[in-house]
Amino acid sequence: MNKAYSVAPISKNELARGFIYCRDNSERLIKDAEILYNYGSYLSAISNCRLGNEETAKALMIWSASTYKDDELDKWDWFYRSLFDHKEKLRVLEYQLHWESYEDKDKFHEIIGNLMRTREHTIYVGFNENDGTFNMPGEFFDDLPETSRIELTYSQKIHQLVFLVEYLTGKSTVEQIVDAFNVNFHQET
C-alpha cells in the first residue's frame, strides 16, 4: 500500500533545521557505534554505523531539496517518499560518493542490495529459504570484529566528508545553513 504524501515545499528554515538534526543524529549514532565496537558489541556497532550513514544520506537529500523550486512537485514527492525508504537512502549515499567509480552501473545496484543485506544480517534473525533454517544475526560474517572496524572507519570518514565544512569551521546554525542554501544553489545566472 502506498502512503500518500504531501508534496508541498518545505521552507528553507525547516530544511536547515532538518539538515542540522540529521548531522547531529548521524554523529551520535556513529559515536555510539564506536562505544559499542570498543565493548565488543560488533553487530550493534555495524547496525549503528548503517543507521548513521542513512542519516548522513538524509542530510544530503535535504541539501538537494533546498534546490527544488516550489512548482517541482515531482521532486518534492520523491523527497517525501525517500525520507522513509532505507534502500533509497543507501542509493543516495552511494550515488553521491561513489557513482563515478562504478564502471558497470549494474554493479552499483548489486552493491546497494549487498548493503541492505548486511544491514539486515546485523539486526534480524534470518531465514535461509534454500535449506529451511534460521540464522542468528552475524552468522554471515567471517571476521566480525574486522568487519565492524571497517564499517566504523568508513562511517566516520563519510560523516567527516559530508560535513567537512563544519569540521573546519565549527557547527553551523540554522541561519548559516539557510545562507549556504541560498548562496550555493539559488543565485540567478
pLDDT digits (tens, 9 = 90+) for 98-135: 656 656 667 666 766 677 777 788 888 988 889 999 99
Distance CA 178, CA 2 (A): 32
| Distance (Å, whole) CA 58 – CA 107 | 23
Instruction: Give the confidence band of 186 by pLDDT, cuts at 50, 70, 90.
Output: very low
- Contact, 149 vs 163, CB < 8 A? no
Task: Look up residue 3 and give its DSSP letter.
Answer: P
The confidence band for 188, taking pLDDT boundaries of 50, 70 and 90, is very low
How confident is residue 189, by pLDDT bands cut at 50, 70 and 90? very low
What's the farthest any 2 CA atoms get from each other in the chain? Answer: 61
Name the one residue in this structure whose C-alpha cell is 565496537.
37
Would you kindly state where each structural domain of the chain is located, as residue ranges? 12-185
- Residue of 182, 184, 175 lying closest to 13 (CA atoms): 175
DSSP letter for 100, please: G
Other CB atoms within a 10 A radius of the CB of residue 9 amount to 18
pLDDT by residue (tens digit) across 23-71? 999 999 999 999 999 999 999 999 999 999 999 999 989 988 988 988 8
29 CA to centre of own chain: 11
pLDDT band at 187 (very low <50, low <70, confident <90, very high): very low
